[in-house]
Amino acid sequence: MRIHKSALAAALAATTNDATRYFSNGVQIAPDPEGDWRVEGTNGAIAVRVTTPGEPEADGVPELTGPILVPKTALTTALKAAVRGKNGPPEQEYVTVSTTPTGAVLDAAGKNGAVAVPFTPPEANFPNLDRVMIAPAEDDLILGLTAEMLETLAAVTRALAVGQREPNLTIRIPARSIWQGHVESTLAATVTGANGTAEIAFMPTSAT
């Protein structure tokens, strides 16, 4: 099964570096009931599920028939190779996941050459993310944020995190900012660190 690297990288972002927690130190790839594929990752506090089309491989390459847990180290190696050259074909941005008689293998062929990363799927029970994924509802409150906003908020939080193991960012949504289920005006955020407190005001995007 060939999966675009962006789906794999998105789920990988939610994993941990704790090699003793197999389910959180890897990404699970599993069939989706609607016919696509689910790429999932979680660190216990944040869970990410990416639903993405999977492209069948060429004849003779064993296809996935069920869930498989890919270790973080193996996936990171494959993603580094899945880099598209300036005039390279789109296939250079894909990673192939297939089974072998002794385990499984990731294949990627980017602008700098091809790599094959064999691995043994860990024997771990990946959490059922259906228990935490919330279906959309008509009365949901919608908040739109850009990647740049999130990166800025994270940078401020890290900058004030000296001496703190888990610095927190608190976001306040004033009642006057809510209009017809959407957050439409300025929000307030606060980060408290050992050497100061940051007050942040930012405008959400127009969510659709």
Q: Which residues of the chain have pLDDT under 50?
A: 208
Q: What global pTM score does this model have?
A: 0.83
Q: What is the pLDDT of residue 51?
A: 93
List the structure tokens of 201: 């005001």
Q: How far apart are the first and last CA of the chain?
A: 32
> Residue 180: its pLDDT value, please?
63
Element (H, E) at 153: helix 147-159
- The answer to whether 175 and 188 have CB atoms below 8 angstroms apart is no
Q: Which pLDDT score, from 0 to 100, does residue 137 have?
A: 82
Q: Could you tell me if 15 and 72 are in contact, meaning their C-beta atoms sit under 8 angstroms apart?
A: yes
pLDDT attached to residue 7: 94
Torsion of CA 96, 41, 208, 148, to 10 degrees: -90
pLDDT tens across 147-171, in order?
A: 898 899 888 888 887 666 666 788 8
Beta strands in 74-172 (DSSP E): 94-100, 103-110, 113-119, 169-172
pLDDT tens digits, residue range 102-133?
A: 999 999 999 999 999 999 998 888 999 999 88
